[in-house]
Amino acid sequence: MENSAKENAQLFSKTIILPIDRSSSKSESSASKEKQTCCGGIKIFLGALSFVYFAKALSGSYLKSTITQIERRFDIPSSLVGVIDGSFEIGNLLIIILVSYFGAKLHRPKIIGVGCLIMSAGTFLIAMPQFFMGRYRYEIFSSSTNSTVSISPCLQDKSQIPLSVLERSQAKINAGCEKEVGSSMWIYVLLGNLLRGIGETPIQPLGITYIDDYTSEESAAFYIGCVQTVAIIGPIFGFLLGSLCAKLYVDIGFVDLDNITITHNDARWVGAWWLGYLIAGVLSVLAAIPFWFLPKHLPRPESRKDSSTSSEQSKFIIEDNKEHHRSYEQQVKILEMAKDFLPSVKNLFGNPVYFLYLCASIIQFNSLIGMVTYKPKYIEQQYGQSSSKTNFVIGLINIPAVAFGIFSGGLIMKKFRINVLGAARLSLGSSFFGYLLLLSLFAMGCENSDVAGLTVSYEGTKQVSSYEQTLFSECNSGCICSKSEWDPICGENGITYVSACLAGCKTSNGSGKTTVFYNCSCLGITASPSRSSSAVMGACQKGKECPKMFLYFLVISVITSYTLSIGGTPGYILLLRCIKPQLKSFALGIYTLAIRVLAGVPAPVYFGVSIDTTCLKWGSKRCGGRGACRLYDSNAFRYIYLGLTMVLGTMSIFLSIAVLFVLKKRYVPQDENITANGGRGMVSVQTRKDNFVNSDYLIQTTYWPEKETRL
């Protein structure tokens, strides 16, 4: 029938039908093209955004994995490393308001691309000091490492002192010594991390809203969920990359590794920390490329063309023919919003549930951020593990446990249809049992290594002293030794000595890691007569029980990470449901700002300051002055690190109990009244709508910078 109609049209009215046919065909092809552009464009954007999330999560977690490496390379204390770690949050806060507001009016994909380039520039800047500082030098007993000739570490005459020692002493006198190249290079690491925080700022708010504007409501939640899932994978690769780089020596490719006298477990070991930043920087550059080819606007899906749910579209995408009118309307709205700002703040902080939950979250995140920042350092110092193994364990075990915990929390909420009161209970229960598990870690520590003059006396009796004079004894009184250097040796009696000189060793043989010291007078005090007074390079291993304790620690740590993570999703549900709908966005903004300012920035600093107080032996800089800590009091470190975490966690639990009490008192009767009034159908519809909005906000805000590495 269609064929006959076409034939008749061609015979009798060809000139009329053909234009109609073309118009129809053009209309169909245009609609088809628009649909393809919409679907194709948003999927390309989704893939690009997922890769960006992966790249930024990888670089953030890699920074955590290099904390101890940076501390040793730049000879700085833990407190200063905490400032460097917190600089990311400072950079993020500097421009987050400007980007969130003005960025939505401009070309969002290109702004994200610019952010990626800034982020990559910051990442490259962090690695740059390695190429300007010269080679890494650590304390060493003799500069002639290749010699196999017998050398006496116990220097009894000043004429025997090696030239390198004399040069170092002379350098200390030099007033301009501290201004040498490399003495303040850590500032570039701080500035690079600050720049990385600035570059990361537009990715989340502009990326999520772009997806929300140009997809259907049903697809938006799924797409955003995909992005968050990819983001959780980033930290796993970040810590694994940290593990790989920590195995490589810092100056690999520039020095002969056969001459390196230290091993991975040595407190002076520094891995190729800079290499991972170069890789992360390249990933950020690659992530920026697709955004330069994406359009400012995409065709909106049919289901949302008449909808006002897309906040960015309704506020900032202005049609040309209504530009002046809408500009005037926006000015009026801005004035109204300015007038409503203070009343909104008063309303928000006047809500006791929101205020108490905000306080509880700030304290809890102080606990978690401090714990996570120094977790690699704690494992290294407490259990005698290398940086490489520590990062591998965290990346392969802890991070997946956190991801599984977040997923489980959302699954429990959905399966059991838990209301706001149930969410508060689940969040509280998660925190309570998580911190109970942390209590058990106090019993899973290792005793101090036996270090003569610091943790044991030269006679072998237990003592703890950070007083440098205790390093000297009658057995080494005939030697001219430095009390500031750290070049440990392990005696046959199982005791570590700060240096071969302080052990009273008269002769040595071999080179590099194979150097053996003989006739060590201080070893003879505790060694049995049948044993020779010899020692080898490097500190002695921790006690036999330590590997078993480390295994127990890993098991409890994984269970704790999972338990604490379960409460993440219910906590956000509670936050969203306890406030007025029109204040949700503002409340979430205040919440994120408070967490970053009052937890993300200060927690690494005061945790670092507290940890520094447990140091027994500080390293020395080449030009004098205190360097990085070489030995901690294991017991004091454990009590300070876990104690701070527990005290803050307990405070947050008490505030969470107050939240539950107020919530039960104020909000449950209202729900019962609504149900009793017979508005079941309307409430059901409204609840479904609110649930969708809440889940939409939840997905947008559950991920904030480096959240995956918090546990």
Nearest CA-CA partner of 205 in 222, 232, 235, 227: 227
pLDDT classification of 619: cutoffs 50, 70, 90:
confident
Alpha carbon 607 to chain centroid distance?
15
The reported pTM is 0.80
**3-class state of residue 456 by DSSP:** strand
The lowest-confidence range among 386-390, 394-398, 523-527, 644-648 is: 523-527
* Angle of the 568-577 helix axis to the 546-566 helix axis, nearest 10: 30
| Averaged confidence pLDDT in the chain | 78
CA pair distance 323, 318, nearest whole angstrom: 6
pLDDT confidence of residue 606: 95
pLDDT confidence of residue 533: 77
pLDDT at 668 over 70: no
pLDDT classification of 626: cutoffs 50, 70, 90:
confident
pLDDT confidence of residue 189: 94
* Angle of the 78-102 helix axis to the 186-200 helix axis, nearest 10: 30
> Which residue would you say has higher pLDDT here, 250 or 183?
250
Q: Are 622 and 137 in contact (CB under 8 A)?
A: yes
CA pair distance 73, 58, nearest whole angstrom: 22
Q: Percent of the chain having pLDDT more than 90?
A: 34
CA dihedral 249, 252, 257, 261 (to 10 degrees): -30
For the chain, the farthest-separated pair of C-alpha atoms sits apart, in whole angstroms, at 123
pLDDT confidence of residue 291: 92
Contacts of 237 (CB under 8 A, 6+ apart): 54, 58, 395
Place of tokens 């490393």: 81
CA pair distance 102, 145, nearest whole angstrom: 61
pLDDT at 664 over 60: yes
At 165-212, the pLDDT tens digits run 434 444 444 444 544 545 688 999 999 999 999 999 888 888 877 887
pLDDT at 325 over 80: no
pLDDT classification of 237: cutoffs 50, 70, 90:
very high
Alpha carbon 125 to chain centroid distance?
18
At 19-41, the pLDDT tens digits run 444 444 444 444 444 444 445 67
Q: For the chain, how far is it from start to end, CA to CA, in angstroms?
A: 70
At 454-503, the pLDDT tens digits run 888 888 788 887 677 788 888 888 888 888 888 899 988 888 998 888 88
